[in-house]
Structure 1
């Protein structure tokens, strides 16, 4: 069954709780979404609050994939650049698919839905259409190969920039998807 994607769904307690559970679940399954397992919903909550505040201020958008029961199954946060010379591209943050749904093609569906949603966006202050999506990912996870299969190109790498644990430093890989 396919997911139903919505850009900027109303932030209800059910959505908030679904995002918290998704973020903790993805983190605890080894997903590289800003935490190292084990994490709890309470560990994740402050980061979600920051994202929700950015959404309320118009600096960020949220794309959610809902399963057939209406539960949060996937999500991605789209952040606008506020620097006047960089308003023609956006950042993609915290890309997640519920571990129980992985292997069903939902990650690829999410990335397609993100690109489609961003193609319809104008930059901040009416600065014009968004021309590209940029993201970073943690090296050593293989997720860069997934993003490459979705059309993203590696455009930079900072060796050892992410410290997962003492003695376990990973590259910060910068990837770009032109939308033209």
Structure 2
């Protein structure tokens, strides 16, 4: 299904066309109810574009990487791998904004992106561990667990989506050394 995985490791790697596709994907994912950083849909370009631009500005070969998946000539999904510059935690990476466009859900896009992210983190950035925070109540723990992630804690009732919908923020980790990618 996926025809290509690509990486961007500097702002110059994100063309205007790719920027447009990333914004459109983020809007579609959020407005379809995805847990992608904007908890209160609907959102539009006015909300998403400045956040995406800040994310792109942080790209750097040793700091942050953007990994994209295309299928049939369309952006099917994307994810960001980050590294903290602090030497105390520079052996850890963080995962942000894993998104699969609603038109491509259930076709292995998220799994392919995460496997590539694991490879890049381990083989190119020499990271030992990865971390992420996921919205509870979405089934995300099961998805990540199938890829070798383990829950390391929760912030109970940390996320209030509506007055009657409060969720845990689930903290997860993935060890990269001494393990084969799942």
Change (3 A) 1:40 1:86: same
Size of the alignment, in residue pairs? 173
**1:73 maps to what in 2?**
76
**2:42 maps to what in 1?**
38
Contact 2:153 2:171 in 1 (8 A): yes
Question: Residue deviations 1:116-148, cap 9 Å, x none?
Answer: 1212233xxxxxx20111111001111111111
Contact 2:153 2:172 in 1 (8 A): yes
Structure 1 residue 155 corresponds to structure 2 residue 158: no
- Out of 19, 23, 46, which is 2:22 matched to? 19
Q: Distance in 2 between matches of 1:76 and 1:57?
A: 15
Contact 2:153 2:170 in 1 (8 A): yes
Q: Secondary structure at the match of 2:77?
A: strand
Shift of 1:53: 1.5
Shift of 1:166: 2.5
TM-score normalized by the length of structure 2: 0.89
Structure 1 residue 176 corresponds to structure 2 residue 180: no
Structure 1 residue 167 corresponds to structure 2 residue 170: no
Structure 1 residue 47 corresponds to structure 2 residue 44: no
* Stretch moving more, 149-158 or 111-120: 111-120
Q: Distance in 1 between matches of 2:167 and 2:105?
A: 23
Structure 1 residue 146 corresponds to structure 2 residue 149: no
Q: Distance in 2 between matches of 1:167 and 1:57?
A: 42
TM-score normalized by the length of structure 1: 0.90
* Stretch moving more, 2-11 or 106-115: 2-11
Q: Secondary structure at the match of 1:55?
A: coil
Q: Secondary structure at the match of 2:161?
A: strand
**1:102 maps to what in 2?**
105
Q: Distance in 2 between matches of 1:22 and 1:2?
A: 16
User: Which consecutive unaligned segments of at least 5 residues does structure 2 have?
Assistant: 178-182
Q: Distance in 2 between matches of 1:3 and 1:118?
A: 22
Q: Secondary structure at the match of 1:66?
A: strand
User: Which consecutive unaligned segments of at least 5 residues does structure 1 have?
Assistant: 123-128
